[in-house]
Each structure stands twice: as C-alpha cells, then as structure tokens.
Amino acid sequence: MDELKIALVGCGMIGKQHIDRIQNRIKGATVVAVCDVFEAGAKAAAEIAGPGTKVYTDSAEAINDPDVNAVVVTTPGQFHKIPILQAIAAGKPVFTEKPLTNTAAECKEIVDAEMASGKHLVQVGFMRRYDRGYNQVKELIDDGKFGAPMILKCTHRADGVAEDYTTAMAVTDTAIHEIDVLPWLINDEWDEVQCIMPKTSSKAHAGLKDPQVMIMKTKTGIVTMLEVNVNCGFGYDINCEVVCENGVINLPCPSFPTVRFANNVSTKIEDNWILRFMDSYDVEIQDWVDHALKGETGGSSAWDGYVASITADALVASQTSGKAEKVVTGGTPDFYKK
C-alpha cells in the first residue's frame, strides 16, 4: 500500500475536522469516501473533502468500496462498534475516535475480532499520547532523576456542556482521556478507582453531577486525584502535576504571553479542546497513516481502548456505590504485548 484511501464514517464536528486535516495537512492519505446516516451531513463533508468524493449513508457500503483501503470512524462512541467490526472484517486499517466504544463488553468484541483476524488493524484516538507537553513530562519521568512518581494531581475542566451530557459521561467521554494517558505516562496500570461527588455546581444542568473527583490508584501504589469540572466557565483547563520522590513536574500548557495590565498579571487559558490539542491531532493522524502504510498501528491499541473502558465501567459503578472499585483486565494477551 503506498497511499491510504480513506472512508470516513460520521461527518459531524470532529469528522469534518479530520477530513480537512487529512486533505490539507497529512501526507500519504486521502479521503475518497464519506458516510453519514444523514445524507445532507455526508454531502456537506464531501464538499470539504473535494470533488469526486463518494457519498454513502451506509457504513458497510462505504467500507467495502473497492477504492477504499482504510477507515476513520468519527461517529458518537455508542456507534463505533459496527463500523470498526466492518473494517476488521474487510481487513482494512481503522482509526477510531475515542472511546473505543462506550462499554467494555463491546470493546471485548472488537479485541476478539482483531485477534481472530491475526492483524493489528485498530488504533484509538487518544491524542494526548501525541501532545508535546505530555511527551515532555514523560521524558522527564523516564529520565529517572526525579525518582519515582507518587502522586498525580490533574484537572480536566471545560467551559460548559450540552444538555445531553450525563453524569456517566464525565467518566466515559471526559476522564477517559486521563484514564488512557496517565498509565502510559507513568508506566503503570490501574488497580482500583473511586468517584467522589462534591457539592454540585449551580451551573450544572438538572440531573448532572458536576464537578466530580476521581481517585485512581495504580498497581505500584501511585495515586491520582483528578478533578472533572465541565461547567467551570473560564475555559478549557487541562493540568497534570506529577509529584515524584526528588521533585515535581508540571505539564506545560500551550504558551501565551503573560501580561501585566491594570494591576494584574495574567495568562490566557485556551477556549476549547479543538484549540488546546490542535497540534496533537495532526501528529496523531500522521502517525496512524505512517503505521497503517506499513501494516502496523501506533498510539493506543484496541487492547488499550478495552482497558480504558474496563476502568471507566469501574468508575461509573463507583459513582453510585461510592466505594473504590477494582480494575480487572485479566492480563494483556500476547497479541498486544509490545
């Protein structure tokens, strides 16, 4: 294969961004077909992709088009499973946006299908593994001079959320990023996780519990305290402080000037995830293309996506039990050992 000819399934917000990214900033890949259950949405996406782009409303037809040799899935999480399984059945590499799917049971079906195919075909879009800041923190931890990490203090704050955002989504849609990136960052695995509900913000819509505090402990005993706070009202504020034996490492954020003005010293906070992680998405998709052209996958595997969903299920259970819940994965199959 010398070029990926992609069918993109799910032409919503991030799907359209990935089309623009692939057509204009990524080497070695072109979107040749787009698919959305709403034909108007697919047609609008085809306009972004350019003349000659095929338009589908059925993912099986798009994925099995003989001109297509790779797939990008950008439907909402609860609709990821079917196009991913269709891509595996067709033997075509597939990049899916996070989460792999919304439940561990569905993720297991994907892992089983990929192992049965005998080929590594699935990469999950946990783009923080490609973020420059997280990579700089990882290099410092791996260097060893800071000693072992012991405590992680993280925030995942957003300006606000839509009315259909649920209490469980604070885990499955939002904290899922930290659930994936932190074990990668500190070379460890989750052991048990707990969700604690502080006083709910008056800005949260009816029925939504926000903020939430997630306490997550790894197998070697490192403890993470994660604040998910999606109605903070002041911007998209991602932080990660790693307290090690000999020092403290703080995640660098994209730099803005610090200004002194009107008796204040201040720095801008990014508005949203699109802007905060813009560069990471580009690096991530290019890395997927480079790997897929060699018959490989990079970044997070289907197994990583499955483990993230097992962890998310445990946190969601803790949202009602209030107790620490164990994360039980059964161990990494040889197929996924790196």
Residues in contact with ligand INS by the rule CB under 6 A: 158, 173-174, 177, 273
Question: Per rule CB under 6 A, is residue 254 in the interface with ligand NAD?
Answer: no
Q: C-alpha 4: how far from its chain's center?
A: 22
User: Judged by CB, which is closer to ligand NAD: 82, or 324?
Assistant: 82
Helical (H) or strand (E) element with 18: helix 13-24
Q: Residue 174 touches which of ligand NAD, ligand INS, none (CB < 5 to 8 A by kind)?
A: ligand INS
Helix (H, G, I), strand (E, B) or coil at 125: strand
Question: Per rule CB under 6 A, is residue 93 in the interface with ligand NAD?
Answer: no
Question: Per rule CB under 6 A, is residue 6 in the interface with ligand NAD?
Answer: no
Candidate segments 70-78, 144-152, 227-235, 260-268, binder of ligand NAD by CB under 6 A: 70-78
157 vs 49, 203, 338, CA distance in Å? 33, 13, 33
> What is the DSSP secondary-structure string of 50-112?
-TT-EEES-HHHHHT-TT--EEEE-S-GGGSHHHHHHHHHTT--EEEESSS-SSHHHHHHHHH
Nearest in space to 100 (alpha carbons), one of 261, 286, 336, 272: 336
Question: Per rule CB under 6 A, is residue 273 in the interface with ligand NAD?
Answer: yes
User: Judged by CB, which is closer to ligand INS: 159, or 290?
Assistant: 159
User: Judged by CB, which is closer to ligand NAD: 238, or 244?
Assistant: 238
Q: From the CB of 101, what's the least distance to ligand NAD, in Å?
A: 9
Q: From the CB of 42, what's the least distance to ligand NAD, in Å?
A: 8
Q: From the CB of 221, what's the least distance to ligand INS, in Å?
A: 28
Question: Per rule CB under 6 A, is residue 173 in the interface with ligand NAD?
Answer: yes
From residue 99 to residue 128, the character string flagging contacts with ligand NAD as x (rule: CB under 6 A) and all else as - is --------------------------x-x-
Nearest in space to 120 (alpha carbons), one of 80, 101, 92: 92
- Give the residue carrying structure tokens 């402990």: 217
Nearest in space to 251 (alpha carbons), one of 170, 174, 173, 152: 152
- For the packed helices 104-117 and 302-321, what is the interaxial angle rounded to 10 degrees? 160
Helical (H) or strand (E) element with 19: helix 13-24
Residue numbers 175-194 binding ligand NAD by CB under 6 A: none
Pick left, alpha or beta for residue 101 (phi over 0 → left; psi -120 to 50 → alpha; otherwise beta).
beta
CB–CB of 193/177 below 8 Å?
no
| Residues paired with residue 212 on neighbouring β-strands, in sequence order | 228
Nearest in space to 233 (alpha carbons), one of 254, 261, 210: 210
Q: From the CB of 2, what's the least distance to ligand NAD, in Å?
A: 28
From residue 200 to residue 239, the character string flagging contacts with ligand NAD as x (rule: CB under 6 A) and all else as - is ----------------------------------------
Q: From the CB of 263, what's the least distance to ligand INS, in Å?
A: 33
User: Judged by CB, which is closer to ligand INS: 53, or 174?
Assistant: 174
Candidate segments 32-40, 181-189, 244-252, 315-323, binder of ligand NAD by CB under 6 A: 32-40
Question: Per rule CB under 6 A, is residue 299 in the interface with ligand NAD?
Answer: no
Residue closest to ligand INS when measured from CB atoms: 174
Which residues contact ligand NAD by CB under 6 A?
Answer: 9-15, 35-38, 41, 59, 74-77, 79, 97-98, 125, 127, 173, 273, 277
